Structure 1
Amino acid sequence: MYLSMYSFCSSFPKKTMPPRPDLLDFHGVSMTHYFTDNWEKIQNFQARPDDILIATYPKAGTTWVSYILDLLYFSQKKPDRQTSNPIYERVPFLEIMIPNHPSGTDLADSLDSSPRLIKTHLPIQMIPKSFWEKKCRVVYVARNAKDNAVSFFHFDRMTYVQPEPGDWNSFLQRFMDGKMVFGSWYDHVTGWWERKQSHPKIHYMFFEDMVEDTGREINKLCSFLGLTSTTKEKDQINNLVQFDNMKKNEMANYSTVKAMDFKISPFMRKGKVGDWRNHFTVAQNEQFDEDYKKKMKNTTLQFRTLV
């Protein structure tokens, strides 16, 4: 199998890692060159009808849902799959491109599994058209803005392929301004929400619902995907994907990736709802709430933030 971006980075000593990338404006969306250098191939990517696209804003539960789907489809058919390759190889990151190494599109093309599970952080307007033409199913996961911002902040702190995060206050302002890799959280979650209203093959999930009752959300996924897993199988999957179990699982927790500094923060940090209260000051929260109301006033999309 091809080396993924993270496998590539794991072979790099930290001292020789390339400098952190700068944000650039790309078709009106803040990005870095790691996600734009392969743009022609991304846009011309040929999806297959049974592909399942896992779409999220960064740090909204991508790995969690990827692992759930991988188990639903392959835990019985290919039990060795869970221990042979880490999740980032089993579910390739479509838009990633590291010079002189296989791109996300190459990794996806190399998959021999059916269905192929492919992840993306692209906003709705940037999704390759073949996913729509082939009528692929999409699982979108959204997380409330405050917790998403906190998780993104700690991720940027520990990940060398992300831009410098700065301090929490400046990071939060950039989050509100949409100056983040993959653009505005507000545009991302609402863009996918609006498309879902007219596209029956999009399953829109909420991180908070998954925390509240993972088993219930697995059942909803099975219904959407037309899967008939037994109660025993779903109970086993539910146990495997609990946060504490995933955090200890080297095939899921990214602990082998040298591009991430676990001394700063683990890739899987807390997995909770409401941790934002440990980061937001009263003034920051008031400012954020006022800005949030303005940006979300024209959508029916609602989140549970645990105020």
Structure 2
Amino acid sequence: MQMELPSRPTLFDFHGVSMTKYFTDNWDSVQNFKARPDDILIATYPKAGTTWVSYILDLLHFSQMSPERQESVPLHDRVPFLEIHMPGITSGVDELNKLTTFPRIIKTHLPVQFIPKSFWEENSKIIYVARNAKDSAVSYFHFDRMNMVQPEPGDWSSFLQRFMEGKMVFGSWYEHVRGWWEKKQSSSNILYLFYEDLIEDTERELDRLCSFLGLSATIELKRQVMEKVLFDNMKHNKMVNGSVDEVFDSKISPFMRKGKVGDWKNHFTVQQNEQFDEDYKRKMKNTDLQFRTVL
């Protein structure tokens, strides 16, 4: 049976962050979520390589123990989305409470101030992945075009303007990446990764992940993981490429589009780029957080 597609939502201000009802309707359950010490939380601003890192972690933990899951269970069921709450699908919290595999690998796009406090109390491991603002904006634009439960994106130039103003689901990119960066300075349970580093040297970042999680992966397992998580292999794997997700219209744009650094150059005009750079300097002047926009 085809699920009835929910309508595109409108943005509203939620405790100072732009959100839609699909991520706030279950707020009390999300805030009261009981994290465990062995949980692994993957936190990102949307379109920063969330699926990629989710898949890497799932393979590291489960590909040998239960290989059949790889062929039969979509990644979004293996790595539930904490705050999602939509008519016709099980909420992220309920999905997580039903999981029988350990560790639970959990995905969130929440800014740091919205993370349920049990994650801090239990000292669960948190992996934050950040991606440069220009590529994030481009990727988010194409995602909103094809995702029927995101607000209508409009054209590229108005979308970019809203991105700069932070009028995006999950709020401002600038505040998101900075908030998590600041929290990391005082929290040893956060590993802060960069999308660009993952692209540049996946093996090195894989080793950092293993070391942070206390995993001793064999050379063979690492080789298999590296092979499976190549962009083209993921793009053709229907368990991870979003093709089984009914809210995505892949005819408009594929869920896994390019997975590159620097695609922003195909979208930004010279003028947009100058305006963006100026605005960026202003917003990022009080942080030592540095991004690369080309490799």
> In which range does the TM-score fall when normalised by the shorter chain?
over 0.9
1:25-79 Cα shifts (integer Å, max 9, x gaps): 0000000000000000000000011000000000000000000000000111111
1:17 Cα deviation from its structure 2 partner: 2.1
In structure 2, how many angstroms separate the alpha carbons of the residues matched to 1:255 and 1:151?
17
* 2:177 alignment partner in structure 1: 189
The answer as to 2:18 corresponding to 1:30 is yes
User: Which of residues 148, 157, 160 is equivalent to 2:136?
Assistant: 148
In structure 1, how many angstroms separate the alpha carbons of the residues matched to 2:100 and 2:239?
19
* 1:255 alignment partner in structure 2: 243
The answer as to 2:5 corresponding to 1:17 is yes
Q: Residue type matched to 1:147 in 2? A: D
1:232 Cα deviation from its structure 2 partner: 1.2
1:11 Cα deviation from its structure 2 partner: 3.1
User: Which of residues 80, 85, 89 is equivalent to 1:92?
Assistant: 80
In structure 2, how many angstroms separate the alpha carbons of the residues matched to 1:55 and 1:80?
27
In structure 1, how many angstroms separate the alpha carbons of the residues matched to 2:2 and 2:237?
20
User: Which of residues 260, 263, 272 is equivalent to 1:272?
Assistant: 260
User: Which of residues 44, 47, 65 is equivalent to 2:35?
Assistant: 47
User: Which of residues 147, 162, 166 is equivalent to 2:154?
Assistant: 166
* 1:176 alignment partner in structure 2: 164
Q: Which moved more, 1:101-110 or 1:35-44?
A: 101-110
TM-score of the superposed pair, with normalisation by structure 1 = 0.94
* 1:69 alignment partner in structure 2: 57
* 1:5 alignment partner in structure 2: none
1:101 Cα deviation from its structure 2 partner: 3.8
The answer as to 2:196 corresponding to 1:208 is yes
1:100 Cα deviation from its structure 2 partner: 5.2
- SS at structure 2 position matched to 1:80: helix
RMSD: 1.1
User: Which of residues 57, 64, 68 is equivalent to 2:45?
Assistant: 57
* 1:131 alignment partner in structure 2: 119
Show structure 1 runs of 5+ residues with no match.
1-9
Count residues with an aligned counterpart: 295
Q: Residue type matched to 2:80 in 1? A: P
TM-score of the superposed pair, with normalisation by structure 2 = 0.98
2:6–2:87 CA contact under 8 A, matched in 1: no
Show structure 2 runs of 5+ residues with no match.
none
In structure 2, how many angstroms separate the alpha carbons of the residues matched to 1:257 and 1:113?
22
- SS at structure 1 position matched to 2:41: strand
1:245-301 Cα shifts (integer Å, max 9, x gaps): 000000100111221111110000000000000000000000000000000000110
2:164–2:276 CA contact under 8 A, matched in 1: yes
